[in-house]
Amino acid sequence: MSQKQWIVIFAVVIAAMAGLYVFLTHGGQKDGRVAAVYSGSELVRTVDLDTAEDQVFTVTDRAGGANTVCVKDGEIFVAEADCPDGICMRHGPLLENGTPIVCLPNRLVIRWAQSSAEVDN
């Protein structure tokens, strides 16, 4: 094979990899960016971050632990928590390719909704 053929093959492979990357990172977000908020194993609320107005709500677990969740400018994060470590507050907003927001003492989890069943609730 000539050098020109190798360059064309390399360019095609790079273009295919770039297309696959875009599909995998943005293809799952076709229905919008919907966050699911859980207290224990119970789905408390879903929030469509593309259309939701700014809001603040409190999630209280069965033992009485409370987290204040804030939706602002298309982001969701824990603004206040009465847990002893405060890791959930330091997490910052839920990122598209990041880890979920978790408060173990208060059993709170905020993550991206994975199926239409979560969004319908």
What tens digit of pLDDT does each residue of 59-68 get?
Answer: 999 989 999 9
Asked whether the beta carbons of 54 and 71 are under 8 A apart, the reply is: yes
Q: Quote the pTM value.
A: 0.69
Alpha-carbon distance of 28 to 37, in angstroms, equals 19
Q: What is the pLDDT of residues 70-114, one digit of tens each?
A: 999 999 999 999 999 999 999 999 998 889 999 999 999 999 997
Residue 31 has pLDDT above 70, yes or no: no
Say yes or no to pLDDT of 121 above 50: no
In percent, the amount of the chain with pLDDT more than 70 equals: 89
Pick the residue with more confidence: 99 or 23? Answer: 99
Gyration radius from the chain CA atoms? 20
pLDDT at residue 57 is higher than 70: yes
> Above 70 in pLDDT, residue 117?
no
Q: Is the pLDDT of residue 116 over 60?
A: no
Instruction: Determine what percent of the chain falls in helix, strand and coil, rounding each to the nearest 5.
Output: 30, 35, 35
Per-residue model confidence as pLDDT tens digits over 40-55 = 999 999 999 999 999 9
